[in-house]
Structure 1
Amino acid sequence: MNRTARLYGLVEELRAAAPRSLTVAVLATRFEVSTRTVQRDLQTLMQAGVPVRSVPGRGGGWSIDPETTLPPIHLTADEASALTAALAAVDAATPYAGAARTAAQKITASMTGPASAAARELAARIVALPARGDAAIRTAVEQSLAGNTVLRLSYTDAAGHASDRVVEPAGLLTADGRWYLIAWCRTRRAGRGFRLDRIAAAAPTGERAQPRDLAGLLRGSAAVGAVHPAALAPLAP
């Protein structure tokens, strides 16, 4: 068993035992590795944000909060192949690319049988030219959207004009392979779209933004007919 699969297996063992805790010795026996290896793996899970914790004292060990983790997801071969193809299209310039990569690793580690074989076979047939993207800018946009905070941008428009903007993010628009941050621009006092690859710098201010209606900001623009992608539509309120 490789380490990725073992990390996934540790989470599922702790989920199955919850709310009880399991000792390092029990986990080491289950995965046929040393207690030192298990201890290192559990520390890795903690650092990755998995809600595992050490329970001190007699009868203690390690436990997990089952309400903040997902149970195993059983995919068909077609579903596994579809996810593989979709994740292959995620490059450095795509919002939440880092989270997509870790999700891909977890999905791969959890799959067995025909689904796993189909995904791995398809993955071996997909190649991509690396895209250039500024990780700091992408992270700032992601955090601003997730936390609903004001963002300060340095932006160059299609005509080559550079400007500094203070914006209140409302959402993301994807069109023709490009990603746009849709936001209320305080500088222009209107809704605007900012192509991510034209943002030269992005800095979070920490200031809470007013809630903005994405559809309202798109109204009257070239993207007025934008709809939720079919795969995401069932998730949207």
Structure 2
Amino acid sequence: MTRPAARTSADRLARLLNLVPYLLARPGIEVAEAAGDLGVTERQLREDLELLWVCGLPGYGPGDLIDMAFDGDRVTITYDAGIDRPLRLTPDEALALVVALRMLAETPGVANRDAVERALAKIENAAGDLVGAPVAVRLPGEGRRVQELRAAVERRRALRITYYTAARDESTERTIDPLRMLMVDGRAYVEAWCRRAEAVRLFRADRIDAVVELDEPAVVPPQARPHDLRQGVFRPSPDLPLITLRIGRGERWITEYYPCERVEVDGDRWVVSLRVTDLGWARRFVLGLGPDVTVVAPVELAAQVRAQATAALEAYATPVLSAGPAGPVTAR
């Protein structure tokens, strides 16, 4: 009985890598015999052979791609593109792989860490003396705070934190029950049940000003669900405020950095609309962009920006007295 063909991409990749050396050792082998040896159907083997025809070395022109010849139902590899050679890592490649696996093993919230550590142990064993190379692996934003949070998560302890919320420009104290540590876009987060908000929240590690591990276990309510972060931390939704800005050339990076609902070209300017967490954050965001930005909507945001900009200009215009060697002098 013929065994069923493998269905996953990983299985097919492994089969293709094995197929070329197999055929090189058996020139002119019948397709049916090869399929039986490899545990696939004849149809699957022919599909694999057709795929090999477009595989090869960079350049992908004549003389770069794997080639083969058919004689009836027999097949012979005539050019292998180097796949006949066993994979051997150079010292630099082996060291790079060790470093990458060490970093992956240290990434908060990574799935299947046991599998990563097993793979790392195998590579380190094969690398030999490279294991002791003077290389330190440190994640972006990694520090004492992240290590402290990770340890608390692993011990399943509740935490009392002082957290700075950038959107509201305020610091608050919260008691949280951690679910997991995450690394998103190079930043570490602790995802936890916030007892104050009575909901699951994400807390950036670099915005946690103080943390105290409580002498009580973390208790996560059954209704708590982790966030889906495949699209990033910020998830625009219709219930969030929508702002519209007219921007110059120097601010077009906004459309690449933030998810925009609408981008229109208006001469040499662009009109962009995007969702924000709240208008307080939007006000600080607009004021930090510079003079080549105009708030189109909402009117409330335009008024807030105008008021704060006016207050700043008035502060600069206020005379400041400075004392010299002979006492107070004129304003400057």
Which structure: greater strand fraction? 2
TM-score (norm 1): 0.42
Higher gyration radius (CA): 2
TM-score (norm 2): 0.32
